[in-house]
Each structure stands twice: as structure tokens, then as C-alpha cells.
Amino acid sequence: MYRSHNCGELRGEHIGNEVTLSGWVQRSRVMSGQIFIDLRDRYGITQLSFIDNEHPDVFANAKKLGREFVVQITGKVVERQSKNPNLPTGDVEVVAEALTILNSSKTPPFTIEQDTDGGEELRMTYRYLDLRRAPLQQALKLRHNVSMEVRNYLSEQDFLEIETPYLIKSTPEGARDFVVPSRMHPGHFYALPQSPQTFKQLLMVSGYDKYFQIVRCFRDEDLRADRQPEFTQIDCEMAFVEQEDVLNTFEGLTKALLKKIVNIDMQKPFPRITYADAMETYGIDKPDIRFDMTLTDITHLAQNKGFQVFDQAEYVGGIVVKDGASMSRKEIDKLINFVKRPQIGVKGLVWVKCNDPIKSSVDKFFTAEQLNQWKNEMNATSGDLILLIADEGYRARKALGELRLHLGNMLGLRNPMEFAPLWVVDFPLLEKDDESDRWHAMHHPFTSPKPEDIALLKSDPGSVRANAYDLVLNGNEIGGGSIRIHNRELQSTMFELLGFSKEDAEAQFGFLMQAFEYGAPPHGGIAFGLDRLVAILGGQENIRNFIAFPKNNAGRDLMIESPSTIDAEQLEELGLGLV
Ligand code: ASP
């Protein structure tokens, strides 16, 4: 028997017991006559004490132990002289009577403790060592708990978890496909799923009216910070539902997760906002509503007073920083530099300090009375700071949205352990790609237009709204879905609009359109990004901490060194030889 208890288990009540523990040596303190060792496993840390006077052989052996040696000890639980209130096992220690070294260890390249001295690259290269640290173990445990809760909740609601294949054909979700060459069919390729979208729709045709799957998806995108080329979705689909049914079902799931995982009882329905309103009021389609600071359009008040910058802009609007009038010139300059960065790219900020008298950076052009009009329009009060941006409408709002989040961070308004979910609904069906001048599906090509907007599909595609929705949590899109098209004609019109030739549409999605001809029920669904959801519930930004073996920002696995080349023979076999 390797152990009678784990390293997080012993308490005052065990004093006097004879126990056996196995684990890793986290730390040892050698003193004359006595050695203290922190023994670690995934349950915690227990202090061991080796006493020269009592067990000289064991003591001598313990002297040889280095960090991360794997050991087994047997001994007696005693009360600790100096207790450690920060450790659940901190009242006791085990006086070792026998020690077996199960394995030695090289000195690890970084310290394996709560906080480590290792840089991210090094820790990713030795991921198996980093995973020994408590924060990562807690993160993976949280992930497990979330997955279990999802499975329990959905299963109670009659959902079936059904696996769909990984070696498939392109499923367009707006990224490039990862492809896998077929050895048996030289020159032919599988694509890895960007999502199980088409398969889950086929399952609806087959009558599995409530499906879910915790599933890996693969998207070959230009990597942005904290994106993973493979990531996990909680993928769901339901038949015989309208948007309302889907929202209610998954609001229920989200509430259950908040209750079980972070112990927050959310009684009220989640707020809902249309995409258009979100853009107007927050400058972004995934608003963080943990704080206000919403955007106000004052174009009508600000123009035609002789200030060119405002007069020439499509939009003049801003946000109010509560009690911000005391900000120094230097602090405001920093905000100006923030919005002038190329990623945001507006020309500057106009500020108004709501003091008595009211003061602004455009006093030359506007009277105090005019500034007060803005103040009233924006619901600012004495002591507040108004920040304004004038530009083309979309760019100005987007910049204000970014400034709002920046200020939210600066002012500590984004408490990671406060949770503010909301639904964003009525997304546009299509968006124009300026470069190619072509329409793209904003969600994906299987999303249904709102029935009342179908008539506009040919005449004014840009104004057609979709039955599509996102679930947003603390400024992150954690889920997105739609009611689908389940009719062949409409699906082919959609492909046509997206610039597919009849032949291409048929070659890529003929199977789905054909299935629609055999009694496809109305259906819709949603998919949650599990990695992100878990990170947010854990109060963290970095999703890599919640993935056992993630890739770095360049899409590489530094531990196994992938991607890597393959040899000529293998290429040849796959029909990819350079002959
Ligand atoms: N397949 C979609 C996605 O991956 C989700 C959905 O529409 O259900 O974003």
C-alpha cells in the first residue's frame, strides 16, 4: 500500500495515528538534528519531520532528498509546535519512522510552488512540471466540475451526448480548416471540424431533438493573444424550438453553473440587448455590464458651432467618468495616447471637467452654456469628467467602447468575481467584407434570417437581421448560436448570396440540403466556449491555465515540439512527395 491518506487530508483529529503518505518533496529545511519536508500531492501539502535522535537511519536517508523526489513515508501524526493557519493540514506534522525513495528527480528548471519563478515559455516546455502546481491543479479541477455540471444538467433535461466525427469536410465558421491528407486516397484530404455544426443539424433531421457534446474544435486562424488552434465547445442543438426556447434552456444551464461553481444565485432573467443597441450604447457587441459609463451621442448638440473637428465628423459622442474631474492633465494625456494608438486609431479626445466653472479642452469654441448642455444630455454631475470622440460613427463608438473598458480596468470596476451575463440578440445576418466586396455570414451560413426580414434578402441584404444570439459574460462572448435554416430553397438562396456557385454549394453542402428534403424539423442551438467560460468562472483572463496541454501564442506546443516536419517517406506515402 503506497498511502493510507493523501497529503491534504490530515487534521488535528488524526493526532496519534500511524499513517503512510506518498508524494513529491516540495521543500526541505535541514537543521542540526531535524529535517522538515513539505510533501505534496494534488490534494495538498503535509509537513514531515525527520528526527536524528529518534530514527537516525531515516534521518540520514532524508538528507539525500532533493526537490521533486518521489517518496513514501510512514510515521506518526503529531501536533505541530508552530502551527500554520494558511495550510489545511497546518495543525499537524508526521514524524517519519520509515522512508522509501520511490524515484529521484533532477532539479526542476523552476520552483514548483503556488508562485513560481519560471517564465511562461519554460513552464510550457515542462508543462508536466507546471501542472504539479496548485493553481493549475485547481484550474483543471474547476474545469472538471464545470464539465460534470454541464453533463448532469443537460442530461436531466433529456439531452443526449452524441459524438460526431473529427475527420470530415469543411464546416465554415469563418476560419481556415486544418486538413489531414488521406493515405488511402492520395490527393484527397479530410478537414478537421471548425465545429460539429452540420452534423448536429443532421442529428436534428434524424430526430435526436436534444443533443449536446463537449467537443474539440479546430480553427486555423491567425493567432491572436489567448486563442488556441484547438479548443473545446459545449455544443448543443434542439429541434422544435424557437429562439426563446433556446435562450431559456441555456440561461438555465448558465444559472446552474453560476450556482454550483461560484455559488451565485441569479434569480432575475438575464438582460437582453439588441446588437444595434449594444453597438450604440457600448461600442461593442459583447458589453461588459458590470459597470455603466455608457456612450451618449451628442452630435446634434456639438456641431455647427465653428469647431471643424466636430463639424466634419459623422459622430460626436462620449462617456462620463464619475468623479473624474480631478484627473490631472498628465492622466488625461495618457488616455489621449491610449485612443491614438494604431489599434484604436482615432485622432484624440476632447475633455470637459464638470467643475464650477465648467472647463474643457475646447473652451475656445464653446460657451459654458453649451458645455452645460452636453453635461445635461450625458447625465453628468458636478465633479465628473466627460470624454468625447469625434470620427466616423463606427470607429468613434468602437474607440469609446475600448476607452470605456480601459477606464473600467483602471478604476477597478471590473471585479473578476462579479458575474454579469447578458444576451445580445438580433445580429445582422450578413456583413460586407470591404476588401472583397462580398457578403459574409456574420454567424455562419446555416443561420436563419428573421422571417419578417426574408423579403429584404435580395433587395437589401445588409439590413436583414438573423435569429442569432450571443451569451456574453463580463465582456466576453461565452456562447453563440442561432435558429437554423431548415429549408432547401432558403439554404440555397443563402449560399448564392454568399457568392457560392450552385456547383460549389452542391459539392460542399449537398448532403445537408438533401437532408432538408427529407423532413427536417425546425431547429436551433448554441455553442459555448468551454475554455473561456471556465477561465471566467475561475476569475482569470488566461485560458491556457485551464487547458492541460495548451499551445503557445504562436500555435506551438513547446513540450512536444509541434508542429514539426515529417520525413520524405511519410510524405511520399501520403501522396505529398515532391516528385
Ligand atoms: N457552430 C457555432 C459556432 O461554433 C455555434 C452554433 O451556431 O451553435 O460558433
Ligand 1 binding pocket mutation candidate from 171, 195, 246, 470 (most atoms within 8 A of CB): 195
pLDDT score recorded for residue 21: 98
Question: If you average pLDDT over residues 435-445, what whole number do you get?
Answer: 91
Q: How far is the CA of 21 from the centre of ligand 1 (A)?
A: 47
Distance (Å, whole) CA 526 – CA 483: 9
CATH class of 12-103: mainly beta
Quick: pLDDT tens for 509-530. 999 999 999 999 999 999 999 9
Domain layout of the chain by residue ranges: 12-103, 137-272+422-546, 291-413
pLDDT at 37 over 90: yes
Q: Which CATH number fits domain 291-413: 3.30.1360.30, 3.30.1360.150, 3.40.50.2300, 1.20.120.140?
A: 3.30.1360.30
> Exposed (0-12), middle (13-18) or buried (19+): which is 354, by Cβ within 10 Å?
buried
Nearest CA to ligand 1 atom 3: 527
> What is the atom index within ligand 1 of the atom nearest the CA of 237?
8
Q: Could you identify the atom of ligand 1 that is nearest to the CA of residue 484?
A: 7
Quote the pLDDT of residue 107: 97
- The DSSP-derived string for 179-248 is EEE-SSSTT-EEE--S-SHHHHHHHHHTT--EEEEEEEEE-B-PPPTT--SEEEEEEEEEES--HHHHHH
Task: For residue 555, report the phi and psi dihedrals to the nearest 5 degrees.
Answer: 75, 20
Interval between CA 162 and ligand 1 midpoint (Å): 16
Ligand 1 atom closest to Cα of residue 196: 1
* Cβ contacts of 166-170, under 8 Å, gap ≥ 24: 166/192, 166/193, 166/216, 167/192, 168/192, 168/193, 168/199, 169/508, 170/194, 170/508
Tell me how far the alpha carbon of residue 476 lies from the centroid of ligand 1, in angstroms.
Answer: 16
pLDDT at 319: 98
Q: What is the mean pLDDT of the chain?
A: 96
Answer for the pair 58, 52: CB distance below 8 angstroms, yes or no.
Answer: no
Q: Do residues 530 and 147 lie in contact, with contact meaning Cβ atoms separated by under 8 Å?
A: yes
Q: Is the pLDDT at 579 greater than 70, yes or no? A: no
Query: Residue with C-alpha cell 451618449?
Result: 296
pLDDT confidence of residue 29:
96
CA–centroid distance, 334 to ligand 1, in Å, is 39
CA distance 91 to 12: 6
- What is the phi/psi pair of residue 477, to 5°? -80, 110
Q: DSSP for 106-136? A: PPPSS--SSS----HHHHHHTHHHHTTSHHH
Which atom from ligand 1 is nearest to the alpha carbon of 233?
Answer: 4
Cα→Cα distances 547→44, 144, 227, 233, 407, Å: 21, 11, 12, 13, 30
* Residues 6+ positions from 489 with CB-CB distance below 8 Å: none
Angstrom distance (rounded) from CA 307 to CA 535: 46
Cell of 560: 512536444
Mean pLDDT for the stretch of residues 361-369: 96
pLDDT band at residue 541, thresholds of 50, 70 and 90? confident
How many Å lie between the centroid of ligand 1 and the Cα of residue 197? 6
417: cell is 468575481
The amino acid sitting at 234 is: I
Output the CA 481–ligand 1 centroid distance in Å: 5
Distance 424 CA to ligand 1 centre (A): 15
Task: Kindly report the protein residue whose alpha carbon is nearest to atom 7 of ligand 1.
Answer: 481
DSSP symbols for 59-89: HHHHTT--TT-EEEEEEEEEE-SS--TTSTT
pLDDT over 90 (residue 433)? no
The residue among 479, 386, 480, 422 whose CA lies nearest residue 288 is 422
- Residue 428 CA to ligand 1 center (angstroms) comes to 16
Which residue's alpha carbon is at the smallest distance from atom 8 of ligand 1?
526
Ligand 1, atom 4: closest residue by C-alpha:
195
Q: Looking at residue 170, what is its pLDDT?
A: 79
- Centroid of ligand 1 to alpha carbon of 365 (angstroms): 50
Taking the C-alpha atoms of residue 399 and residue 391, their distance in angstroms, rounded to an integer, is 9
Distances in whole angstroms, Cα of residue 235 to Cα of each of 192, 531, 543: 16, 13, 18
Model confidence at 224, in pLDDT bands (50, 70, 90)? confident
- 42-86: pLDDT as tens digits: 999 999 999 999 999 999 999 999 999 999 999 999 999 999 999
Residue 417, CA atoms < 13 Å, CB-side half-sphere: 4
In CATH, which superfamily holds the domain spanning 137-272+422-546?
Bira Bifunctional Protein; Domain 2 (3.30.930.10)
pLDDT, position 172: 78
Residue keyed to cell 532528498: 65
451-464 pLDDT, tens digit per residue, is 999 999 989 999 99
Pocket of ligand 1, beta carbon within 6 A: 173, 195, 197, 444, 480-482, 525-527
Q: How far apart are CA 454 and CA 448, in angstroms?
A: 9
Residues 6+ apart with CB under 8 A from 336: 348, 349
Mutate to test the pocket of ligand 1, among 164, 173, 211 (most ligand atoms within 8 A of CB): 173
C-alpha cell at 262: 461560484
86-107 per-position pLDDT tens digit: 999 999 999 999 999 999 999 9
